[in-house]
Amino acid sequence: MCGRIAQYHGIHDFVAVLSMPGALVNTVGDQPLGRYNVPPTTPVALLHMENGALHADLLRWSWKPHWATNRAEPNARSEKVAHNPYYRAAWPNRAITPIDGWFEWLVEEGGKQPYYIRRHDGLPSLCATIGHWPHADEPPREHDGFMIITADSAGGMVDIHDRRPVVLAPELAREWLDLATPKERAEEMMVRQGEPSEVFEWFRVGLEVGNVRNQGGKLIQPET
């Protein structure tokens, strides 16, 4: 997890669920994002705090430190990010990636079968995120990007994939975004307070999602 996400609602829909007071600085736009099949290394809408305001910006989904020689990764393991030197530059920069759901592939008889995972209640998943991005008055930089934090799967979800995003309830997502939240508290939320498997549902979808060029609501419909 996770190798593909869906982000088709508009940024105002995501912000409404987050229920953040104050101004929104929105460079994403007001229209529905309309992306049902989003791969890593592409721009994704991200929410973060700066100068007391919530910012919605598009940022590359994948990150690595400027000194690393490996390829940039889309995800970071919750067990490592708070103390591993690899993530030192990104860990202080907390954000939320609001998504409608995500895809995983399970090896079944006949090949790899995609599954779509989303919240039971139909609300967006607010994914704990770290990264590196420019301040509002700075130009984009080569090594800007973000990683979605993942944790071990539990319950029935482990049958689909052994990792899943750390999804935070809205009140915890607001605390995660708050620049005054101590790093120790952020680590506690990341490791122990992600939404449980019971919050989610998952089902088989068509093989079309395997091609990133394919888009549209049909990709998240249960396979019949």
Told to judge if 2 belongs to the known catalytic residues of this protein, a careful annotator would answer yes
Asked if the model's pLDDT at residue 155 lies above 50, the reply is no
pLDDT tier for residue 156 given thresholds of 50, 70 and 90: very low
pLDDT at 1: 59
pLDDT digits (tens, 9 = 90+) for 64-108: 999 999 999 999 999 999 999 999 999 999 999 999 999 999 888
pLDDT digits (tens, 9 = 90+) for 102-141: 999 988 877 889 999 999 999 999 999 999 998 777 777 7
Name the pTM for this structure.
0.94
The stretches of the chain forming alpha helices (DSSP H) are: 11-18, 170-177, 183-192
What is residue 172's DSSP assignment?
A: H
Sign of the Cα torsion 191, 192, 194, 199 reads positive
For the chain, which domains are there?
Answer: 4-212 (3.90.1680.10)
The catalytically annotated residue of 104, 171, 208, 223 is 104
Mean pLDDT of 49-55: 94
Told to judge if 108 belongs to the known catalytic residues of this protein, a careful annotator would answer no
